[in-house]
Amino acid sequence: MFVAINFIDCDVHYQERFEELFQSRAGEIDTMPGFQRMEVLRPLENGGEYLIMSHWDDEESFKQWTKSNAFIKGHSRGFEDIRKAKEAGQKPPMRSSFKTYNIISQ
C-alpha cells in the first residue's frame, strides 16, 4: 500500500482558513481509482506542521490523481490564496513539502 503525505507549514493567521478548506472540501479525490482514504492531521505541538495524508492502492494511482482535473479542482482555493499573497507582495501563507511511503507493517 502507498501513502503520500503533504507536510504543511501554515502561518498562524491562515490556520482557520486552511482548516476550513478541508472541512468544506468537494471530495474530488474520493472519486479517483485506487484512492482509499485521506486524513488531515492538526499538530498538537506549537509550530508543528499539518499533515495531509492519503492512502492509495499503489503509487501509479496517486500519480494519476496529481495529473487529473480532480487535483486542480481540489486545490483551486488554496492555490488562489497563494497567488493573491504573491500578488500583494507577501510570502505565501503556507509552505508544503511532499513525501511518499510504502506501508511495511500494520
Question: Segment near a copy of itself (CB under 8 A), from 63-71, 72-80, 85-93, 94-102?
Answer: 94-102
> Is the CB of residue 6 less than 8 Å from the CB of residue 98?
yes
Distance of CA 15 to the CA centre of its chain: 14
Interface with a copy of itself, residue 48, by CB under 8 A: yes
For residue 90, give the C-alpha cell: 507577501
Question: Segment near a copy of itself (CB under 8 A), from 45-53, 65-73, 78-86, 87-95?
Answer: 45-53
Q: Cβ contacts of residue 58 below 8 Å, gap of 6+?
A: 1, 2, 34
Q: How far is the CB of 1 from a copy of itself (least distance, A)?
A: 9
Interface with a copy of itself, residue 19, by CB under 8 A: yes
| Contact set with a copy of itself (CB under 8 A) | 3, 5, 19, 22-23, 25, 37-45, 48, 51, 59, 99-106
